[in-house]
Amino acid sequence: MIKPHGSDVLNPLFVYDQSKHHELSNEAENLPALMLNSAAAANAVMLGAGYFNPLKGYMNVADAMSVAESMKTTDGLFWPTPVLNLTNNIESIQGHKRIALRDPNVEGHPVLAVMDVEEIEEFSEKELNFIAEKVYRTTDPEHPGVATFMSLGKYAISGNIQVLSFSYFQQDFPDTFRTAVEIRNEIQERGWKKVVAFQTRNPMHLAHEELCHMAMERLGCDGLVIHMLLGKLKAGDIPAPVRDAAIRKMVELYFPPNSAMVTGYGFDMLYAGPREAVLHAVFRQNMGATHFIIGRDHAGVGDYYGAFDAQTIFDDEVPQGALQIEIFKADHTAWSKKLNKVVMMCEAPDHTKEDFVLLSGTKVREMLGQGIAPPKEFSRPEVAQILIEYYQALDAKK
């Protein structure tokens, strides 16, 4: 099986030993506490689940700046985006070396992790802008990722953590949320050797489904992991339970038995385009995938990134051998009226735009809201029905 990134074995930071967990939970109740923001809480969940292997906790300023500059920590570990615990208020923890990190996303704010504080440092505005420019390729406050990052705070609390909870993800998505440890175990149980992962924050239409079939066939994979983001998105995105239901229905009806797993992970979307694509590849390697599909405008938003920047970064900026996982580069896929099937647009050079069935997201949302299923060349009818029910319920609340 493919090795995790940066180590021979996966080292999740969740405390699985029951007595140790109980001991730490009791200790945490009497520790000075920091209320995390959602981004820092998501980082803790990813560290706990093993997706951020081999990191042991949150980065300091020097590592964050180094990662932003060169995609390497100060000790040379390849890593694409800073993993930070930022805050604007350090009053409750100043001078303390061991603190409890509380969950902002769960009622009662239970302890998410216990942290050994290495340093509390202050970022300058110039340094925060430098990170935004390198990671997001823009400092535009209209960019949702930049807007979130710049609002998190100027103080960086660095140090190792021990994770005690997976926040709301396990409870809200018991059938879907899986740690990197659990996915690795299931891949082994299923006997899969070559596994391709597909990232999604949206329901999967026919073109996405066919892209997964194409990748599996061309790579000779015996397994597909559909891995959906379960954390915070931007306004207007379809909520995770609806996506989950739509994707499960598609897999049930249109994939052979024991060929696809539907799973999810607890992270907030960064919308960092190319850098986020590399981060996605890191944690897909950690969960045991040998290949990862990266399509047009992966993890992008608006017009901030070129259509294939998330692919070319692997050729131009990721050092050879930094990652073991291999990238399956995909173009936009759509139904060809000429060929009567879904194709990658780059593989149909004799086609014009009119030869494809193409619908904008706005048009699809309008149709679904009116109870009209998109054409069968665009979306499976069973998937469309789930989305129609969601949009009509949404409209009824207005």
* 266-307 pLDDT tens trace: 998 899 999 999 999 999 999 999 999 999 999 999 999 999
191, 92: one domain: no
Is residue 394 scored above 90 in pLDDT?
Answer: no
The answer to whether residue 12 is domain-embedded is: no
Is residue 234 scored above 70 in pLDDT?
Answer: no
Give the Cα separation of 203 and 140 in Å (integer).
28
286, 332: one domain: yes
| Residue 35 binned pLDDT confidence (cut-offs 50, 70, 90) | very high
113, 185: one domain: no
pLDDT on residue 398: 66
pLDDT on residue 365: 85
Where do we find the tokens 């535009």?
A: 140
| Residue 381 binned pLDDT confidence (cut-offs 50, 70, 90) | very high
pLDDT on residue 165: 97
pLDDT on residue 232: 72
Mean pLDDT lowest for which of 41-50, 76-85, 360-369? 360-369
Is residue 237 scored above 80 in pLDDT?
Answer: no
Give the Cα separation of 163 and 53 in Å (integer).
14
The answer to whether residue 106 is domain-embedded is: yes
Q: Give the mean model confidence (pLDDT) for residues 107-133.
A: 98
The answer to whether residue 2 is domain-embedded is: no
58, 84: one domain: yes
Is residue 395 scored above 80 in pLDDT?
Answer: no
pLDDT on residue 238: 83
| 248 belongs to the catalytic site | no
Give the residue numbers spanning the domain of 257: 175-397
Q: Write the CB contacts of 28 (distance below 8 Å, at least 6 apart in sequence).
A: 100, 111, 114, 164
pLDDT, tens digit, 9 for 90 and up, residues 317-359: 999 999 999 999 999 999 999 999 999 999 999 999 999 999 9
Q: Write the CB contacts of 45 (distance below 8 Å, at least 6 apart in sequence).
A: 112, 163, 166, 167, 169, 266, 267
Question: For the domain that residue 50 is a member of, what is the CATH number?
Answer: 3.10.400.10
162, 180: one domain: no
Q: Give the mean model confidence (pLDDT) for residues 65-70.
A: 98
Strands 260-265 and 33-35: unpaired
pLDDT on residue 308: 95
pLDDT on residue 393: 86
162, 228: one domain: no
Is residue 162 scored above 90 in pLDDT?
Answer: yes
| Residue 231 binned pLDDT confidence (cut-offs 50, 70, 90) | confident
227, 362: one domain: yes
Where do we find the tokens 């290495």?
A: 118
Question: For the domain that residue 335 is a member of, what is the CATH number?
Answer: 3.40.50.620
The answer to whether residue 307 is domain-embedded is: yes
The answer to whether residue 332 is domain-embedded is: yes
**Please, what is the average pLDDT of the chain?**
95
Helix intervals (H) in the chain: 18-28, 38-49, 61-70, 125-136, 144-151, 169-172, 180-190, 206-219, 240-254, 273-286, 309-316, 361-369, 381-397
| Domain termination site, one of 170, 188, 209 | 170
166, 189: one domain: no
Give the Cα separation of 102 and 167 in Å (integer).
10
The answer to whether residue 193 is domain-embedded is: yes
- Please give the biggest Cα pair distance in the chain: 69
| Residue 111 binned pLDDT confidence (cut-offs 50, 70, 90) | very high
pLDDT on residue 239: 83
Domains identified in the chain, total number: 2
Is residue 48 scored above 70 in pLDDT?
Answer: yes
The CA dihedral of 316, 321, 326, 332, to the nearest 10 degrees, is: -10
| Domain termination site, one of 170, 202, 232 | 170
97, 60: one domain: yes
Long-range contacts at 67-76 (CB < 8 A, ≥ 24 apart): 68/130, 68/131, 68/134, 68/135, 69/130, 69/134, 71/275, 71/278, 71/317, 71/318
Give the Cα separation of 262 and 248 in Å (integer).
7
The CA dihedral of 136, 151, 44, 201, to the nearest 10 degrees, is: -50
pLDDT, tens digit, 9 for 90 and up, residues 196-218: 999 998 889 999 999 999 999 99
| 202 belongs to the catalytic site | yes
| Residue 195 binned pLDDT confidence (cut-offs 50, 70, 90) | very high
45, 157: one domain: yes
Q: Which of 98, 190, 201, 248 is catalytic?
A: 201
The answer to whether residue 13 is domain-embedded is: no
65, 96: one domain: yes
The answer to whether residue 7 is domain-embedded is: no
Q: In Å, how far from its chain's centre is CA 108?
A: 26
143, 219: one domain: no
| Domain termination site, one of 170, 188, 210 | 170
